[in-house]
Chains A and B, each alone.
Chain A
Amino acid sequence: GQQLNQSPQSMFIQEGEDVSMNCTSSSIFNTWLWYKQDPGEGPVLLIALYKAGELTSNGRLTAQFGITRKDSFLNISASIPSDVGIYFCAGLSSGGSNYKLTFGKGTLLTVNP
């Protein structure tokens, strides 16, 4: 089946630093999504990317949809303690009227105040 390789697995940074994480796939996706999951909660959508080459921002978050449609990255600028959590990339593929999300294994982000 489809697999997403997300890296790094974990990051430990100081408050105020920028952080970058990325996701690659052997398959092409039509849409890339980035989610954040806090402990004990379900994932929450941060950014959705719909076109190859698209660069989208949401506050301090910036994400890009790779030209090959097989990769995406997420940047967080000027990190703050509440950025702590697990970040997941997800690729959306479709077959007819059925849509399927495939998730990466996540990047655990720890921010030291």
Chain B
Amino acid sequence: GAVVSQHPSWVICKSGTSVKIECRSLDFQATTMFWYRQFPKQSLMLMATSNEGSKATYEQGVEKDKFLINHASLTLSTLTVTSAHPEDSSFYICSARWGADEAFFGQGTRLTVV
């Protein structure tokens, strides 16, 4: 299958700082990227869907000013967690696809806010 790479794999940041997570499609162009958050022993919750060149569509209850998503090119989307707090600590996973094709998932980023 196609490869989606997330960076970093894990990050620890201080409360109040911002952290950026990158999601890259390595061998295909992604018109759509999805961002998910997963708390321990829970399912993946869709945070937002981003289409290249457009503003992201956020799910209900997700603060768009706190979780900034930029899908600036067909191979890169970024999620910036602004003014992070301990409750933002989670596993963040991105997914990417071309058009209506199968979606492929990144390896995830474990964020710990201390």
Q: Do A and B bind each other?
A: no
